[in-house]
Structure 1
């Protein structure tokens, strides 16, 4: 989220959105199924069966997908496991690796772009995930910065997810036969964190098995978590100057499912997500193991989450997984 937007402006805009309620557009289900009404009690058991995540690192490919939802342009950047030697930058349109890989939908912050998070998202792809990151029409860098449009973004993500998963059956597409539609997560930073929370509350997408929220808040989308249990990982800097740490913690406290919160005592609003360093390594390693557990069903990965989270005394970890 750009620092041109002051904390007061952000809070005011999102609070206004919360008072007026989500737009009808934000509440539409885009998965081709009837909308899912939030329930007062979430079901108790995650749906992903036990399995094993790949332990080797993959090379990473990257490509663009041009989408449009009812006049809302949604260019999507895809990072995916690729053939070749692991390490280095993602390679444009590289051949996809053999296998079927879970999908993670990632939402950027206000004034951001998917490429801003390339270091983190490349690491997720190298660990065996296909990452799809839309650039939202109003909140991406170069847009009009209308923060209230965040309330329309959960529907954007659901639409993009439908289109991405369709590639698995599209003749001639490089990702044909490579996507596991039964293993899907959503993640996002700042305004993208709001978007991600919305996908598990007012705009619940039942295809999602897990969520990762970086510096997010529930203002505007609420905390009526609904549907099948979807474990959540929250990551928040305690010195966040845009989204107060207490606001992120309050949303986390309302999650009724298995959950954990990685808190960075010296962390701000998210610069650690954009530049390689010790903090990013803790965040990326912890989130990789969380995704390995929640999407591959890997019990060994679950055992490594807390170890990675507390390495080097960079973060504290509230663990209810």
Structure 2
């Protein structure tokens, strides 16, 4: 089956419904630390959640370092979801740069949609939002685990979800009613909405989409944007397809990186200067354009 037909079938299945992925609402998160003023070297680590269970979940973690170890401080978390027949490492051009800017990026390898899945099934995307929440719960425990190098460095009260293609649908599916207050913002790249998405308390959402996307049409991303509540923004990558702009050096990459990084700094570090930069980050005539309902 071709990629376009495969994704079209995926969207039909996902819009029909998906499993519930909710969690208890916690109290307010403590005040955020200041966003780092400089880029950090990046470390990488892998682990597997529930390795003997029915849905083992390998996870790649990228995190800021200093002098060969985790950098001092607590860093907000970004859960990054890959698309169909992909892997976390194929998105490292973007995710490692987020980590360098002061985030811990946790990227699961979904059991039935990754590039090496033994039993690939696109319909399993509807189960992936629950996997994302399972990862968040694991990171909460990891942050409190005595002796773990990341213990005390994960700001698990400040989490964003992001993802590309089917991972964008997965991201949307994490924004359901009754969700944990830990999840503060989302970035949907070349994706769309799931049944039940964009419900519950409003959270800032950023959509990124190539205007010539042949796999997930621009209209699908725009429809999801219209369903989402404010504050929200839609970054169009002009003339681009399904994700070339996620590769360093390709047209639009610099604007996507700057816009998404400042969006994360604003929503996870409460950085007002980053919020004010978002429109300028996205302003590249002939390359990108931004529609937004963001605060002035």
Q: Same fold (TM over 0.5)?
A: yes
The answer to whether the 8 Å contact 2:177/2:201 transfers is no
- Residue 123 (structure 1) aligned to one of 97, 118, 121: 97
Q: Specify the alignment match of 1:79 in structure 2.
A: 62
Higher relative contact order (CA 8 A, sep 6+): 1
Q: Specify the alignment match of 1:106 in structure 2.
A: 80
**Residues 256 and 48 of structure 1, relative CA distance in 2, 3 Å threshold:** farther
- Residue 251 (structure 1) aligned to one of 193, 218, 224: 224
The answer to whether the 8 Å contact 2:101/2:261 transfers is yes
- 1:146 and 2:125 correspond: no
- Residue 300 (structure 1) aligned to one of 257, 270, 273: 273
- 1:10 and 2:3 correspond: no
Within a 5 Å distance, the mapping from 1:195-210 to structure 2 comes to: 195-201=170-176, 204-210=179-185
- Residue 63 (structure 1) aligned to one of 45, 48, 51: 45
Number of residue pairs the alignment of both structures matches: 291
Which 5+ residue runs of structure 2 have no aligned equivalent?
none
**CA shift digits 1:100-133 (9 cap, x unpaired):** 1100000000010000011100110000000000
Distance 2:220 2:70 in 1: 40
Distance 1:82 1:281 in 2: 23
**Residues 112 and 224 of structure 1, relative CA distance in 2, 3 Å threshold:** closer
**Residues 188 and 17 of structure 1, relative CA distance in 2, 3 Å threshold:** closer
Q: Specify the alignment match of 1:53 in structure 2.
A: 35
Distance 2:44 2:136 in 1: 17
TM-score, normalized by length of structure 1?
0.85
**CA shift digits 1:145-164 (9 cap, x unpaired):** 31100000000010011112
**Residues 192 and 171 of structure 1, relative CA distance in 2, 3 Å threshold:** same
The answer to whether the 8 Å contact 1:83/1:95 transfers is yes
**1:283 match: secondary structure:** helix
- Residue 20 (structure 2) aligned to one of 10, 27, 37: 27
Distance 1:126 1:302 in 2: 19
Give how far 1:5 is off. 4.0
